[in-house]
Amino acid sequence: MPKLFALLDCNNFYVSCERLFRPALEGRPVVVLSNNDGCIIARSNEAKALGIAMGEPFFKCRKFIEAHQVQVFSSNYALYGDISQRVMTVLGQLEPEVEVYSIDEAFFRLPQGRAEALLANGRHLRETIKRQVGIPVSIGFGPTKTLAKIANRIAKKQPEHGGVFVLPEGDCSPILAGIAAGDVWGIGRQHSRKLASWGIRTALDLSKADDAWLRKQLTITGLRTAMELRGVSCHLLGESPAPRKSVTSSRSFGQPVSDLAGLREALSSYIGIAAEKLRAEGLKAGCLQVYLTTNRFREKDPQYSGSQTANLSAPTSSTTELIGIAGGLLKRLYRPGFAYQKVGVILLDLVAASRMQPRLFAPVVKGDEKLMAAIDRINSRWGRDTVQSAAVGLAPDGAAWKGRQSRKSPAYTTSWLELPVVEAC
């Protein structure tokens, strides 16, 4: 039996997570800020209606936000990640073929059926997720992933559909004619400007473009997009992502850091995050790069940036080993007299831990895999950084390098110390 694609998308996800434990914010304008409270990365519909732009620096619109009583939150990725996992778990229990596409999106496949049955299934999914998790979602159905994306956009943008939309069978030209080419999955702003210069302004125009011309101008990827708009499926469910080639961990500091000790603490913290990602994916790194930079936007300050790379004698995912090697690289990089804005680590030459080839003449080194596994289990159960390297410092939360999060909500679902309190009256 032919199958359809569906896309589930959490509505204004970061905002919805913040509202989950503060229902009084429903109907009020809300925005969420990026790391260091820099830019706006999520907006409620009410904030969008006020004209607050995505990606706008917070300092530029702060007076406007305060004048309109917009509720502002620092990003709380521990909360968002946990709520995302709950949504995907519920979806996986209801649908057998699921591909998690991002923190707030997932594709799934199901047998083709009548529009009424698909609508009923979508509404059941929405109601179940709303009841069990508390997050509103939109669902779109279509014969290809690209068309499912368009159906989801209609479900989200047009309230009369109740959050669920099924593309009609047969000719979808009237619907595609109302979708801008730049809003098609995989096109983006740069390509949309080029397409507009060639007279291609809508999804319908793109679907009717010549195949040879599309392949020349937008490569095979653009041709596949056009074919998907025609109803020819080119992107299968659960296509294996390209193997990860590197892991990067870095943050801009809450305030400039000049001393080597502070930089070493920050770097150790970032290495802990990167090494944990390696272990979670069953990988080890054979090369490590450390970089350091000042704030290039402070043109009056002296500027400096640099990087150092080390090839490891044997691939590793040990936090302690990586911190030791990175500390030596940082010491060579460091120059006194500069106000540094960022330090970071990139782990390269990644290999699967299960397929790692031992070196013939290299000494056998007893690793600390059991220790790292124990730390990961503790942090998974009790929250990130419950156990961490002493190289991070004794009071990392108050360190100058710690990012600004002055408006961060509690980690309601991942920290015992921040559980919401319920009082009986």
In a domain, 342, yes or no: yes
In a domain, 280, yes or no: yes
Return all residues near 105 (Cβ < 8 A) that are at least 6 apart: 7, 8, 9, 10
In a domain, 365, yes or no: yes
Which pair of structure tokens corresponds to residue 381? Answer: 């159960």
The pLDDT tens digits for 307-349 are 999 998 888 999 999 999 999 999 999 999 999 989 999 999 8
pTM, rounded to two decimals: 0.76
Q: What is the pLDDT along the chain (425 residues), one digit of tens a residue?
A: 578 999 999 999 999 999 999 989 999 999 999 877 888 999 999 999 999 999 888 888 999 999 999 999 998 888 898 899 999 999 999 998 899 888 899 999 988 888 899 999 999 999 999 999 999 999 999 999 999 999 999 999 999 999 999 998 878 889 999 999 888 988 877 788 888 888 889 999 988 988 898 888 888 988 899 999 998 888 887 754 556 788 998 888 878 899 999 999 999 999 999 999 999 989 999 999 999 999 887 888 899 999 999 998 888 999 999 999 999 999 999 999 999 989 999 999 888 887 666 665 555 556 688 898 998 898 888 777 788 888 888 766 656 676 666 788 888 887 777 888 888 87
Q: Are strands 340-352 and 247-257 parallel, antiparallel or unpaired?
A: antiparallel
In a domain, 90, yes or no: no
For residue 112, report the phi and psi dihedrals to the nearest 5 degrees: -65, 140
Q: What is the domain range of residue 376? A: 247-398
In a domain, 164, yes or no: no
* Angstrom distances, CA of residue 189 to CA of 210, 222, 287: 21, 14, 35
In a domain, 7, yes or no: no
Task: Indicate which CATH number applies to the domain containing 296.
Answer: 3.30.1490.100
Q: How many domains does the chain have?
A: 1
In a domain, 251, yes or no: yes
**Rounded mean pLDDT of the chain?**
87
